[in-house]
Amino acid sequence: MDYRGLGGTGMQVSNLCLGAMMFGAWGEPDHQECVRIIHRALDAGVNFIDTADVYSRGESEEIVGKALAGGRRQDVILATKFHAPMDVAMGEPGGDPNWRGNSRRWIVKEVEASLQRLQTDWIDLYQVHRPEAGTDIEETLSALTDLRAQGKIRAFGCSTFPAEELVEAHWTAERRALGRFATEQPPYSMIVRGIEADVLPVAQRYGMGVIPWSPLAGGWLTGAWRKGREAPQSRRAQRLPARFDLSLPGNQRKLEAADRLAQLAEQADMSLIHMALAFTLAHPAVTAPIIGPRTMEQLESQLGAADLTLSKDVLDRIDEIVPPGTTFADGDRGYTPPSLSTPELRRLPSGLV
């Protein structure tokens, strides 16, 4: 396992990050099996673990805390996230509007809950899971800066922020003498390449670490999605139909690309999984893609990618199949700004027209 600097934090992380989203009710409910998977990754040289409060409503953090208890915490760069509602299931209506978001009120409350679930005194990287239009970025940065000064977190970052909001955050931090985002965690894979146009260049410009989520495109790049085969069924597909429903044109284009990429991997005598992970590692802005296994078998199938370097010919063929900057399906972007999702923001009141 190679190790890379995590932005400008001085922390060194393995070039694969173990994602814990599939540990708990969303994936593997057996805590002992999840702990085994985590320990196997650590034994293989992975020293970077990413989770979030919302994953299985705190259960994922609890499992990671169990796995690191007994002396392994000191050897791990531990990352978690906040933002999503914690009093109702994600996607369900209702709930207290103050039990979520990017406000100081919620951040200082939720960091304590995460520390307790993780059984640790500090979080190495505390991340804003999504932007929030109704909260001033200065409010968020100020709260995170204070948590770092208190020693509860070592660094902070963001996830799935558009390029313009990354720039605004850095400018705000400079003007207000606040800490700045050290990392960005965006969606990135061979078939979700939109961030190559703006987010990755901005991250490089500001010296940010980049930790891509879903480098296997939620399972599309495992080899299971092929033309002429029945579409795989999973809890994730049921929970996120916009990313998997083959009746949508964007997902049909993904299926075509995934099939051609699988053929390319076969021609290059490598697994599609290894090719997909090595692709993300080939970008100079990327620090470590997040692998999110649900089973030990899935983990083993991904670990070897850390040692693979793709040739220029293979990278050129990938570019031919999926042109740089291309994202086929809007559901893969991970975030829709209010300017697109809220019609009222695009229309003058009828009395003013």
Q: What is the pLDDT of residue 58?
A: 97
**With the C-alpha atoms ordered 314, 252, 225, 230, is the resulting torsion angle positive or negative?**
negative
CA 203 – CA 76 distance, rounded (Å): 24
Q: What is the pLDDT of residue 326?
A: 97
Query: Do the Cβ atoms of 329 and 191 come closer than 8 Å?
Result: no
17-19, strands of its sheet edge to edge? 209-210, 183-185, 153-159, 123-128, 77-82, 48-50, 17-19, 290-291
Question: What is the CATH classification number for the domain harbouring 145?
Answer: 3.20.20.100
- Tokens at 153, concatenated: 């977190």
Q: Which residue has the tokens 């001085």?
A: 10
Greatest CA separation for the chain: 66
Q: Of 55, 126, 188, 206, which is the active-site residue?
A: 55
Query: Do the Cβ atoms of 18 and 48 come closer than 8 Å?
Result: yes
Residue 100 is classified by DSSP as S
State the pTM of this model.
0.94
Residues with Cβ < 8 Å from 81, sequence gap 6 or more? 50, 51, 52, 53, 54, 126, 127, 128, 129, 159, 185
- Tokens at 41, concatenated: 């990754």
Task: Tell me how many domains the chain contains.
Answer: 1
Query: Do the Cβ atoms of 79 and 48 come closer than 8 Å?
Result: yes
Residues with Cβ < 8 Å from 170, sequence gap 6 or more? 180, 181, 206
Q: Which stretches within 291-349 are classed as H helix?
A: 296-303, 312-321, 338-341
Residues with Cβ < 8 Å from 7, sequence gap 6 or more? 155, 157, 182, 183, 207, 208, 209, 287
Q: What is the pLDDT of residue 88?
A: 87
Q: What is the pLDDT of residue 350?
A: 67
Residues with Cβ < 8 Å from 143, sequence gap 6 or more? 103, 104, 107, 108
Q: What is the pLDDT of residue 216?
A: 97
pLDDT one digit per residue (tens) for the chain, 353 residues: 899 999 999 999 999 999 999 999 999 999 999 999 999 999 999 999 999 999 999 999 999 999 999 899 999 999 999 999 999 887 788 899 999 999 999 999 999 999 999 999 999 999 999 999 999 999 999 999 999 999 999 999 999 999 999 999 999 999 999 999 999 999 999 999 999 999 999 999 999 999 999 999 999 999 988 877 877 777 776 677 788 888 889 999 999 999 999 999 999 999 999 999 999 999 999 999 999 999 999 999 999 898 899 999 999 999 999 999 999 999 999 999 999 989 988 888 865 65
Is residue 55 among the annotated active site residues?
A: yes
- Tokens at 198, concatenated: 């703006």
Q: What is the pLDDT of residue 351?
A: 57
Which residue spans within the chain are E strands per DSSP?
Answer: 3-5, 12-14, 17-19, 48-50, 77-82, 123-128, 153-159, 183-185, 209-210, 290-291
- Which structural domain, as residue segments, surrounds residue 114? 3-352
